[in-house]
Structure 1
């Protein structure tokens, strides 16, 4: 494959993002350095690549084919007519942009730095072919992600209908005793399940393996050993609060999380929805760093429905989460295959 060495400024244009006046529930996505951070009723770019400019996500890459707002933590990239935008999205995503960052207190990328980076690119027809091949993987991944969202939404809607709005099967004929439906219990959360702090696992002591490591916001890596058997529930303890995650495989919860150690009166799927609807972020007890105290959380009063009603719900919800796990694993394999293929296409090892 014939590759030409060029400076980035020769083939693409750069634009600094701008702070949105305020976050609104508009139709246009707002991109920060860590991806989508909200919505706006106005836009400042469309059909472009978004590069994280500063901080922990410096050098991160996103692409949006629609109109969007790029915040001041980003740099926007657009290609000229002789180059393919999607190709450059994959190329820059593979390129170690963060290694070029300056800044003393925190990493910082500027237009001046980016413009003088040298890259090797093929002619436009080859760019288009490479982008088309890699896009097929991403299209499948995105389709599965949307299916997962719809499945999760259906389970959440049913849970809220039955156990929040109390419109469960037979509710019309169920007596209300002491303010709750007959057969239900009002209990402390600690009587329904037990939350436990996760485990330390410094990066230096990690050995890559098959078991996911969970931080407060999601998967943080993989390790050769698991600490907790599936199915499991994890939520943020320190730093980021409120997200509740269902885990269908053995895992390692980090010490920035709380995990359900004992499912006393509910199973994992029911516990997921129960904790989600508590909106745990409102119980922050930290000053400088958001923190959940499990002892405080255990004292929260919750409603525990009858065993029959929980069984009816799980008969609907458990197959949903089995399918979600299958789609999630399929997406992991697609990402692995794409990431193996990507550098080989870029350097010409695989001809197109």
Structure 2
């Protein structure tokens, strides 16, 4: 089976990027995404985006409007992340993201995506990246990058094999989202609408059910600071898994595959266990997307610690599930995030939030919610582990298929 070397520019109709000027913002309209909206499954998460006016989108050049079959590629800062566009969903982005429109007569669009997902391509991008603070892969460099491609029918066959893993991951992610939504609906039904079990027999005084109590956060949990580190202590292989700020998704929940590996000393208190709660205490975004927001640490199958950008919340008198649900589903984190301050980087002093009050239901109601929440969490963990196994299997197979080591005949 023969493979031909070609430049990306020779297999694409166009290679462009997003607008170089900040777009006008709007309360509704067309979603505006950044690199931070790319999930660990190489898709865009539109749940917490900003918006631009429809007129702005309509005025964009057609090569900057995504369409089905395009491949987007991060080129500034966190460069090297490809996203395959499966649907004609309008959204906009800036120059930090490149957009490649494949020539379908030369390259199968999903094959281009998997080529750019392969580590060999990332190493080429890494070698071509320029700059220090914000390393950038220029469009010129991207256009001139060489890839190897087989016959178009073989490309389609390879893409079909690899996409079978991604389809499993996508289906599991959809089920995970449904479970998270179920937990959120239950929280709002019980603790916002106040239709918790037995509510009909509970007296409401000044809008608060009898037996419920406003408590300061200092009575609900204590916090532990994370490990400070230097770049020399971060390693590619070995060391200890370090959960860091990138593991917090915008506005909360856990972002997998963003961990670092740390080679150094740390305290026992800076270890993490599956199910622990972490909160971001710094933020590079002025929108306060990370600071004050919370996540549940998953089971990673090895020793974990956490970085100084995070704190660990250790419950004192209330179940972890209720603290998490109130912070994430109930929007309590958005009350904490304004306490952070700074010019370029926002910093939250944890002690500043500890006098804030949280409404705590009776122990009986919290116990009932916890039991249901834990059922959802266990199902989510099973589905997520299946995703992890599928990702590992795909990533082992990917370089073998892309190098021709594992032959596939059209």
TM-score of the pair, normalised by structure 1: 0.90
Q: Distance in 1 between matches of 2:5 and 2:318?
A: 60
- Correspondence for 1:247: 297
Kindly indicate whether residue 192 of structure 2 is the aligned counterpart of residue 164 of structure 1.
yes
Kindly indicate whether residue 102 of structure 2 is the aligned counterpart of residue 79 of structure 1.
yes
Q: Out of 76-85 and 272-281, give the one that drifted further.
A: 272-281
Do the aligned residues in 2 keep the contact of 1:50 with 1:70 (CA within 8 Å)?
Answer: no
Do the aligned residues in 1 keep the contact of 2:282 with 2:291 (CA within 8 Å)?
Answer: yes
SS at the partner of 1:285?
coil
Q: Distance in 1 between matches of 2:204 and 2:67?
A: 55
SS at the partner of 2:406?
coil
Q: Distance in 2 between matches of 1:155 and 1:211?
A: 32
- Correspondence for 2:138: 110
- Correspondence for 1:141: 169
String of CA shifts for 1:87-124, please: whole Å, max 9, x gaps: 00110122022321234653223332222222211110
- Correspondence for 2:181: 153
Kindly indicate whether residue 28 of structure 2 is the aligned counterpart of residue 25 of structure 1.
yes
**Structure 1: gaps spanning 5 or more residues:** none
Q: What displacement does 1:231 show?
A: 2.2
- Correspondence for 1:6: 6
Kindly indicate whether residue 233 of structure 2 is the aligned counterpart of residue 205 of structure 1.
yes
Q: Distance in 2 between matches of 1:181 and 1:147?
A: 34
Q: Distance in 1 between matches of 2:151 and 2:50?
A: 37
Q: What displacement does 1:64 show?
A: 1.2
String of CA shifts for 1:180-230, please: whole Å, max 9, x gaps: 321212110110111222123445435656975322231423569971333
Do the aligned residues in 1 keep the contact of 2:293 with 2:327 (CA within 8 Å)?
Answer: no
Kindly indicate whether residue 66 of structure 2 is the aligned counterpart of residue 63 of structure 1.
no
Do the aligned residues in 1 keep the contact of 2:66 with 2:85 (CA within 8 Å)?
Answer: no
SS at the partner of 1:66?
coil
Cα 1:79–1:179 shift into 2, 3 Å:
closer
Q: What displacement does 1:157 show?
A: 1.6
Q: Give me the CA root mean square deviation.
A: 2.5
Q: Distance in 2 between matches of 1:196 and 1:285?
A: 20
Q: Out of 209-218 and 226-235, give the one that drifted further.
A: 209-218
Q: Distance in 2 between matches of 1:189 and 1:58?
A: 39
- Correspondence for 2:62: none
Q: What displacement does 1:23 show?
A: 4.8
Q: What displacement does 1:322 show?
A: 0.8
SS at the partner of 2:271?
coil
Match of 1:216 among 211, 232, 245: 245
- Correspondence for 1:270: 322
Q: Greater strand percent: which structure?
A: 1
**Structure 2: gaps spanning 5 or more residues:** 39-43, 59-64, 248-257, 284-289
String of CA shifts for 1:142-175, please: whole Å, max 9, x gaps: 1111111111111112112212332222223212
Q: Distance in 1 between matches of 2:390 and 2:311?
A: 30
Q: What displacement does 1:178 show?
A: 6.2
Q: What displacement does 1:234 show?
A: 0.7
Match of 2:71 among 49, 52, 56: 49
TM-score of the pair, normalised by structure 2: 0.78
